A and B are shown apart, each in its own frame.
Chain A
Amino acid sequence: MKYRIVVLAKQVPDTRNVGKDAMKADGTVNRAALPAIFNPEDLNALEQALRIKDRFPGSEIIVLTMGPFRAAEIIRESLYRGADRGYLITDRKFAGSDTLATSYAISLAVKKLEPYHFVISGRQAIDGDTAQVGPQTAEKLHLPQVTYAEDILDIEKDSVTIKRRIEMGVEIVKSTLPVAITVHGSAPSCRARLAKLVMKYKHARTITELQEETKDYTDLYSHRPYLQIDEWTVADLNADAEMLGLSGSPTKVKKIENVVLAHKESTRLTADDKDVEWLMQELISRHVIG
């Protein structure tokens, strides 16, 4: 059996390196001020897709990412690890989209890739932490959805068995195919880039990127069509412009606040038995352990 897997991945600002200019005045993220990285849980999602491909050789992994033209890096990073191809959904009209507008655009893009068996994404992106885009996309595509997945245990012709991470432990569920899955950060981390694939795909570019290149790769691209990363615009998706960008986004950021954790929230303990005993009780009563 061969499967077709669509992976949804996002380029996010590295929120581990937040500076004072991380936010713009209108309350949206100032992406230019932060290093851009592959959203960590989307890497977990990609790994799950790669494992399906390992188990079922000949399966196909298509990566979709939405963002500015530099988000093509996400497609390349996926190709370096074993994805087969990718599309960059990019258009100025997408700017300012919230989760509703984003999932609308993505669902249209996924539809173009029919027939598929899996739509796999990370649980949430570290820039918004909403965990909404995966489920909203599934809903728009009328797919059963399994969120917080940790491992894909078993795949049969028309069904899949998945282990999910839930608050108090794990749950094993079965779903029909096609299915939408969001993957939790406790799932296995993504494999390293493969040396040969890096060398093979490092020249992969979108048309927009090619226009920025100083070197002429025309010849190379005619020989190696796989180096072309396709861009999909609003027109390619036949999307209703009203449902995109700021006009399609009911979410309005009212205010951004800096939260500084107050000193009183910390407790200093020593290593003696009394303090350790106190800590154990505290952790049990807050259901951190036990």
Chain B
Amino acid sequence: MAGMELVSDQGYRIDGRKPSELRRIRCNMGVFTQADGSAYIEQGNTKVLAAIYGPHEASNNMRNRVCLDRGFVNCEFSQATFSSAERKKRSRGDRKGRDISAHIKQTFEAAIRTSLYPRSQIDIYLQVLHSDGSLYCACVNAATLALIDAGIAMKDYVCACSASLTKGSSLIDINHVEELAGCAEFSASILPKLDQIIYSELNGRIHQDELGLLVDAVSTGCRDIFAVIDQFVRSRLAETASYFTHS
């Protein structure tokens, strides 16, 4: 893939987007009945389902993680074997899956008001149905929606976006082909209203001076995602509220 042009001379990316353009986001909340909260998000071709169970009493194998003063987050990331071009051998527990699980757990332990749920466990289950890049980001956005659906108190929305650098300019919300091109990939989760970064990860090498550029690109991307998600949540809330006023 080396040497492939990620941005054409006309300034368009391989899938026809502009460098600072997000893929189409479609989302839904409350998709499952069994879970306490659930959500579905599509960012381009990346499709992720999230389910929240809890807060509930810690399950047996998690007893050692119980804290007296706050709740803890348990996260499991699972990628369907048919979600990528090559069939995956196992859907859970491979290195990449464990990494993403751990990162999402850290992200949400920082964002959820865990002190409101002492001695409790909150499960975040993520299922990737179709993967086309920026998996971590889609998972975080889906989990945020699911947590809102579950009514779990958070400090703020958590929005995540990824970015990459090519020829000195930044690309946001990168897809699978762009991931493969081997440029540095930077993903971050921010709390848009509080203006805080709660998670960031950089894969690959960039010049120190370029970091600012990436952080700016990602935070703009996150704000755009926030706008979409927030609008959806508000319209859903208005819809739900209208049931109460009519009856």
A pairs with B: no
Residues of A within 8 A of B (CB): none
